[in-house]
Structures are given as C-alpha cells and as structure tokens.
Amino acid sequence: MFPKEVYWQRRKLLRDMVGEGVILFPGNEESSMNYKDNTYRFRQDSNFLYFFGIDKPGLYGSCDVDEGEDILYGDDFTMSDIIWMGEQPRVKDLAGKAGAKNSATSEALAADLKRALQAGRQLHIMPPYRGDQIIALSGLLGIACEKVSSYISEELIRAVVKLRSVKDVHEIGEIEKAVEVAGIMHTTAMKMGFPGNYESELAGAIEGIALSHGGGVPFPVILSMNGQILHNHDHGNELEEGRMVVCDAGAETAMCYGSDITRTFPVGGKFSNRQKEIYNIVLKAHTETIRETSPGKTYREVHLMAAKIIAEGLIGLGIMKGDVDEAVAAGAHALFFPHGLGHMLGLDTHDMEGLGEDFVGYTDTIVRSEQFGLAYLRMGKELEKGFVITNEPGIYFIPDLIKQWKADRKLEQFIDYAKAESYLDFGGIRIEDDILITASGSRILGTPIPKTVEEVEETMHS
Ligand code: GLY
Ligand code: MN
C-alpha cells in the first residue's frame, strides 16, 4: 500500500468535491469459478483501491461528507477462516493503514445506511458492475435490484474521474514497474516467435512472467497471427513462416496498476518487404504522434494526426487514393484503422471505463463522434500533465469489412479495393506504448521495448 496519508488526502479531496451526503464504496467479493469455494484470482474494485487501498474481499468504505469522516466496514475473520487462510489482519488495523480513524462491522453498515437514508441524506454510489454487488446493495438499501442504479451519483463520478485521471508519483512509479515486466513479456514472446511453436506457448509463457512478478495480467493476453482481429484471445495456431504475431499484453503490479503494450513481430524473425512497408507506416504514426502529444492538445487531434499518417502511407502504397485530408475527414482510413489511438491507463486498463467512458474521455464541448472508427476513440479530450494514456495505432486488413465496404461501394473515391483485396491474407499490425503527459510534452514510460524493424529482428535472433 501507499503511505496512509495518500488515501486520507484522496478522500478529503473527494469529500470536498462532492459537497454533501454519504459516499459508499463497496469492495469486491471473491467470485466463484465452478463451485463456491473455488474462486477466480481475487481482483479488488479499482475505486476502492484508489480511496482505501486494501486488496482484500468483504469490505466497504464510506466517506461521510457532512461529518468529514471515513469508515472501513467489514468483519474480522473467524477461527475457521484462520484455520484455512492463516492469520488475518483485523479490520481496525486495515482501517489504520488506509488512514481511516473508524472501522465497524457489516451489521453496523446496514444500520448506518438505514439511518442516513431515513434522515433524508443523499447516498452516492459508483455504477456497480458485478451481479453480487448489486444484490448486496439491494439488501443493504432495502430496495429491489433494479432500483439500485438510482443511487449512482454523477457528482461522485465526475469527482472521481478528476482525481484518478491525474497520476501522482506513487502511481507513475507503479505503472513504470508494470511496463518493465511487460518489456520482459514482449521480448520473451519475440524470442519464441518461430515456426513450430504454438501461440498458446507464447501466451502461457508471458502470462507466467506477469504472475512470477507478483501480479498477473490486467486483461487477458491478446496474442495471435490473426492480428486483424483486434482483440483475439484465441491461441490455438501453430506459428507459420510468412505470418506476423500481434501481441497485446501487459502486467499488473501487486498494487493493481497495469501496463498495456503491443508489439508485432514476424514469425521466423525477418519481416518481408510487404510487411515492412505497412509496419513502418504504423511506426511512423506511433512515434510522430507521441512527439506531438502535450498538455493543451486534445487527444482527438492527436488521433486524427495518426489517421493522416496512416492514410498518407496507404496512399503511397496505392491502397488508398485521393486527397489525404478529405479521406480522413470522410473516415476512409477507418477501413484499415478502425479503432482509437488510445485510452487512459491506471488501475484499470481502460482506466475508469466502468464509470462511463464519456465522463473519462470527453467533455461537454468535446463530444464523441458518431463516425465509424472515430466513434471508438475512448479518449478525445484535452490532455493534462499527469495523465497516463496509451498510443496504439494499427493497420489491419479485415477481410469481411473490406468485402462489405467494397460491395457497398463505400468511399470508393478514397480506396483502391482491388489493391486492398491483395492484402486479405496480411493480418494486422499494432504498436502500443504507455505515455505520461509531462509539463511540456510527454514521455514513454519504462525502459524502451524493441520497436523498430531492426530492433525487433535483432531481439528475435538474440
Ligand atoms: N489492450 C487492450 C486494449 O487496449 O483494449
Ligand atoms: Mn490499449
């Protein structure tokens, strides 16, 4: 955990921003896999972690805005728990670690909530996302499950987004640690990228590296020769010469901060000329937009810059045609780059996505576009010092999408469909790093991970 003052200060800022009422943060419970006592790896709720820091199930945190006090609720372990799980800290001691003066039992939580609601006080909760959490809240509040959402507080969401968006030195340190582990994962995958190995062997080896460093993976490993499928969790293929592997994977630290890195490498360790041409367009979109990433710019501008570099490169190869600015304005590049340039990163891979993406990535004036491709941009708003975001452009040849656009004669003034169809067996390429917005620009977090054609090929043969 961070020093207890960190959590105390975060809650104080939150209470000041929310103004009145009682804020309730339910921690997560264990989640059963195939029978009750056989559980998935426990993952604490990220908001609970941010404000109370305790990575254990069965807890609730409350911040009484009017009284200026915070309470950690939970029950001490019984002897039978201790027999199976060893000695456990008492809730009172956990509260102390989180800088909260008060702790109480789960029974007291029900009574305290009832009293607050009877007194007409406002209760603020975040959007619940687990079924058991909704059922528990329904029991605590004495209302039907469908009514629980009526306590979701926009004031609370906006305040939490404001606080969690700007990372402090402790958090940046954690994310950098997660990037270091991801570096080992990615170079290991590259070195295993030879014909005869199975995707599952690479995926298993790198997930093992994340686990061996004390955390796990913050999202299921994406690793496939079918890189044109953006989030491919299927690892059943044997690696074949002539194909490329897209590996999108990160590590989570013991404190649950994560990294999110993507590299693409050629099976066998040597890019073909055709692969190199596309790879270098993606790399240019990645490196040039990072150079242009700074406070005050909107990430939508930076995304569109990447889109132009991609469209320009594809026009150079004869896959697209026409005027670059007009093609990007029409969204023609999105046939090959159908997703956003990046998202916030922190305790969640898509940081705070559970609070509502538009609260995180957009404002009242910078609203999400409805255009295909641009609509998937999670982060469009102005960048601020302390934001951590990903930069992850890609070029993909998605056979079904190309065929459908061609049949619809969609934007045919900007796309040479005959040429595009000669790439239907190509797959995809994505390159991703994690970026901190600094006072004057930005920097890539962590030790550089091989990225140029030469660096990737050299790593594969080292
Ligand atoms: N790494 C998964 C994603 O960015 O969506
Ligand atoms: Mn990402």
**Smallest-distance ligand from the CA of 222:** 1
Of 126, 147, 165, the residue that ends a domain is 165
Rounded to whole angstroms, how far apart are CA atoms 218 and 250?
6
**Smallest-distance ligand from the CA of 435:** 2
Ligand 1 near 376 CB (within 6 A) = no
Ligand 1 atom closest to the Cα of residue 390 is 4
Ligand 1 atom closest to the Cα of residue 248 is 1
Of 127, 164, 158, the residue nearest 347 (C-alpha): 164
pLDDT digits (tens, 9 = 90+) for 313-358: 999 999 999 999 999 999 999 999 999 999 999 999 999 999 999 9
Residue range of the domain that includes 79: 4-165
Instruction: Fill in the DSSP letter of residue 354.
Output: G
CA separation, residue 105 to residues 112, 261, 432 (Å) = 10, 41, 45
pLDDT of residue 232: 86
**Which tokens sit at 189?**
């995958």
Ligand 1 near 434 CB (within 6 A) = no
Instruction: Fill in the DSSP letter of residue 341.
Output: S
CATH number of the domain within which 29 lies: 3.40.350.10
Mutate to test the pocket of ligand 1, among 185, 248, 341, 345 (most ligand atoms within 8 A of CB): 248
When divided into structural domains, the chain yields a total of: 2
Mutate to test the pocket of ligand 1, among 230, 231, 433 (most ligand atoms within 8 A of CB): 231
Per-residue pLDDT averaged across 72-82, rounded?
93
Of 115, 148, 165, the residue that ends a domain is 165
Mutate to test the pocket of ligand 1, among 252, 260, 434 (most ligand atoms within 8 A of CB): 260
**Do 103 and 203 belong together in one domain?**
no
Of 427, 417, 416, 345, the residue nearest 387 (C-alpha): 345
pLDDT digits (tens, 9 = 90+) for 21-65: 999 999 999 999 999 999 999 999 999 999 999 999 999 999 999
Ligand 1 near 260 CB (within 6 A) = yes
Per-residue pLDDT averaged across 105-121, rounded?
96
List residues bridging with 258 in a β-sheet: 252
Helix, strand or coil for residue 53?
coil
- The DSSP H or E segment spanning 360 is helix 357-361
Ligand 1 atom closest to the Cα of residue 249 is 1
Ligand 1 centre and the CA of 260: distance in Å? 7
- The DSSP H or E segment spanning 182 is helix 169-191
Ligand 1 centre and the CA of 352: distance in Å? 13
**Do 377 and 436 belong together in one domain?**
yes
The residue type at 79: M
Ligand 1 near 248 CB (within 6 A) = yes
Q: Phi/psi of residue 38, each to 5°?
A: -105, 100
Ligand 2 centre and the CA of 390: distance in Å? 6
CATH number of the domain within which 425 lies: 3.90.230.10
Of 111, 96, 102, 438, the residue nearest 296 (C-alpha): 438
Q: In sequence order, what are the residues at sequence separation of 6 or more whose Cβ sits closer than 8 angstroms to the Cβ of residue 293?
A: 299, 302, 383, 389, 391, 435, 437, 441, 442
Torsion of CA 98, 101, 102, 103, to 10 degrees: 40
**Do 382 and 406 belong together in one domain?**
yes
**Do 98 and 9 belong together in one domain?**
yes
Q: In sequence order, what are the residues at sequence separation of 6 or more whose Cβ sits closer than 8 angstroms to the Cβ of residue 88?
A: 76, 77, 81, 82
**Do 142 and 264 belong together in one domain?**
no
Helix, strand, coil percentages for the chain (3-state, nearest 5): 45, 15, 40
**Which tokens sit at 1?**
């955990």
pLDDT digits (tens, 9 = 90+) for 214-265: 999 999 999 999 999 999 889 999 999 999 999 999 999 999 999 999 999 9
**Do 326 and 397 belong together in one domain?**
yes
**Do 143 and 275 belong together in one domain?**
no
Share the mean pLDDT of the chain.
Answer: 97
Ligand 1 centre and the CA of 145: distance in Å? 31
Full 3-state SS string of 268-317: CCCCCHHHHHHHHHHHHHHHHHHHCCCCCCEHHHHHHHHHHHHHHHHHHC
pLDDT of residue 385: 98
Torsion of CA 373, 283, 279, 449, to 10 degrees: -120
**Do 200 and 343 belong together in one domain?**
yes
**Which tokens sit at 35?**
């029978």
Mutate to test the pocket of ligand 1, among 206, 207, 219, 431 (most ligand atoms within 8 A of CB): 219
Taking residue 209's Cβ as centre, other Cβ atoms within 10 Å add up to: 21
Of 146, 165, 184, the residue that ends a domain is 165
**Do 212 and 83 belong together in one domain?**
no
pLDDT of residue 85: 86
Per-residue pLDDT averaged across 104-113, rounded?
96
Instruction: Fill in the DSSP letter of residue 239.
Output: P
Percent of the chain with pLDDT over 90: 97
The residue type at 457: E
Ligand 1 atom closest to the Cα of residue 250 is 1
**Do 322 and 362 belong together in one domain?**
yes
Ligand 1 near 219 CB (within 6 A) = yes
pLDDT of residue 344: 98
**Do 161 and 174 belong together in one domain?**
no
Q: Is the pLDDT of residue 81 over 90?
A: no
Rounded to whole angstroms, how far apart are CA atoms 346 and 360?
12
**Do 64 and 179 belong together in one domain?**
no
